[in-house]
Amino acid sequence: MDRRNGRGNYGWTWRDENGDDDGPGCYPESINAGFELAYDEDKGMGFGNAATDGTTWDDWLISPEIWLRPGVDNLVKFYANGFNSTYPESFDVMLSPSGDNAVSDFTVTLAEVIDNGFACFGFNKSILNSLENKGYKSPTPIQKAAIPELMLGRDLLGQAQTGTGKTAAFALPIIEKLENNKESNAKVLVMTPTRELATQVADSFKSYSAESTNLRTLAIYGGTDFRNQISSLKRKTDIVVGTPGRIMDHIRQGTFKINNINCLVLDEADEMLKMGFLEDIEWIIDKLPENKQMVLFSATMPNEIRNIAKKYLNDPAEILIKSVKKETQLITQRYINVQRHHKLAALKRILEITNEGVIIFVRTKLLTTSIAEALENSGHSVAVLNGDIPQNQRENTVDRLKKGFIDILVATDVAARGLDVERIKLVINYDFPFDKETYTHRIGRTGRAGRSGEAILFLSLIHISEPTRQAEISYAVF
């Protein structure tokens, strides 16, 4: 254990709320006593009463989860353990490293109390305010595991299902590091498999950095005007989120300057491989600067993902969040055994009970149209989402769904990833999903961020007679 005296030895200085650094007396509640500071790699950092003989770690005000970074203020909450005195139960302090060594040289000051579980990561106040405004109080398991590693600059290989908070897990450390970025060309590139996910991730970056006036995020993907994207890329851009094909187009045209990229995130990597983007991804990686942080998130971990990680990631932190069962506990899942020619009638009966905030998943574009027309003729407010719909119309459809102008969405699996609409309460698998990953991502459109939801799977005899695929789905459903 490394102990430092609080009167300023070794560069450690205690300051009260008035800026005084006269040692004893500079405590919350004006406790008049000497003190020591200690740092332990396993237990964190603490304050102790130097006037008490035989001080043990349990007698200290401690915060076990502290990640100090040089050159910036680190907001930390300390808790009282074992003291029979007038110490408050907890209080916030600001640790401000003044040298290159974040452990040995910093100033301690009382800080404004921020009751937020994200404060322990050392995020700046603008991020904490944005999280407060969004109602984020406590980090999820993937955030607790990933954020410290990413703040330290490590590469990361993470496996987590949709709806676990993984976007914030990589977005928040990136925003923190870019807080004072003055360069005009992008520093961060995030690749996603679909336009919808690119839009969602970009919107998340914007919402988390809403309190910062300096940060700019841009989404680029196919189906939208290329010239408008060129114009946007010419302005200061910190973060670019996009699909592989459109990113390649801009790199080839020289309209996306990638020489300053120091962080690459591959989000939903397994889906990108499934969609045939492996060669595109490797082409883009090879064009980027060699010295960069790489982050790879995937819902599943097939050998192809492992091979990419082995080839491109440098000694990555590996995180596995087995949260499928925990997350799906919020989703009531059931199946209905119904013959193919009775499915539409069964669907209509379900919608007589629940007809607001519903997504119906089918396999083909043609079926999205025919089902939507049938439901519209029955008086439902319904829209279609498939790969043939122009991008601006797709975005408009999702926006209308969010605002309540549309109650029911009939979609192909193009909407299974990246669609985050709070009012979705019911997901209906009208057509049997191709595999358990598709099923998981379909039902993940509901029951997100702690909200409850319902998922219904239509089964017929043909599916029951396919034991392999049925077993895969039942793994997720039952």
Residue 268: which residues within 8 A CB-CB, separation 6 or more?
Answer: 192, 193, 197, 297, 298, 299, 417, 418
DSSP secondary structure letters along 7-29: TTGGG-EEE-TT----STT-SGG
CA atoms of 391 and 388, how far apart (whole Å): 9
CB count in 10 Å sphere of residue 334: 10
- The pLDDT score that the predictor gives to residue 478 is 38
Q: Which two tokens stand for residue 37?
A: 């500071």
What whole-number distance in Å separates Cα of residue 256 and Cα of residue 303? 31
Cα dihedral 287→283→191→437 (10° resolution): -160
* pLDDT value at residue 463: 53
Which residue has tokens 């408008």? Answer: 228
Cross-strand bridge partners of residue 156: 295, 317
Q: What is the largest CA-CA distance in the chain?
A: 83
pLDDT values of the chain reduced to their tens digit, one per residue, 478 residues = 333 333 222 233 333 344 444 433 233 332 223 334 444 444 444 444 333 333 433 333 434 334 444 445 544 444 444 333 333 444 444 544 444 433 333 444 433 444 567 877 878 888 988 888 888 888 888 898 899 899 889 999 999 876 778 899 999 999 999 988 888 899 999 999 988 889 989 999 999 999 887 899 999 998 888 999 999 999 999 999 999 999 999 999 999 999 999 999 999 998 899 889 999 999 999 999 999 999 999 888 888 899 999 999 999 999 988 654 445 567 889 999 988 889 999 999 999 888 889 999 999 999 999 999 999 999 999 999 988 888 788 888 888 998 889 999 999 987 656 677 888 999 999 998 877 778 887 888 887 766 788 999 998 765 555 544 444 444 444 3
Report the alpha-carbon distance of residue 277 to residue 77 in Å, rounded. 44
AA letter at 442: R
pTM summary value? 0.62
Q: Is the C-alpha dihedral spanning 53, 54, 60, 65 positive or negative? A: positive
The answer to whether the beta carbons of residues 81 and 58 sit under 8 Å apart is yes
The predicted structure's pLDDT at residue 67: 41
CB 407 within 8 A of CB 358: yes
Q: What is the DSSP letter of 266?
A: E
pLDDT of residue 417: 63
User: In Å, what is the CA distance from 441 to each residue of 361, 413, 445?
Assistant: 11, 9, 7
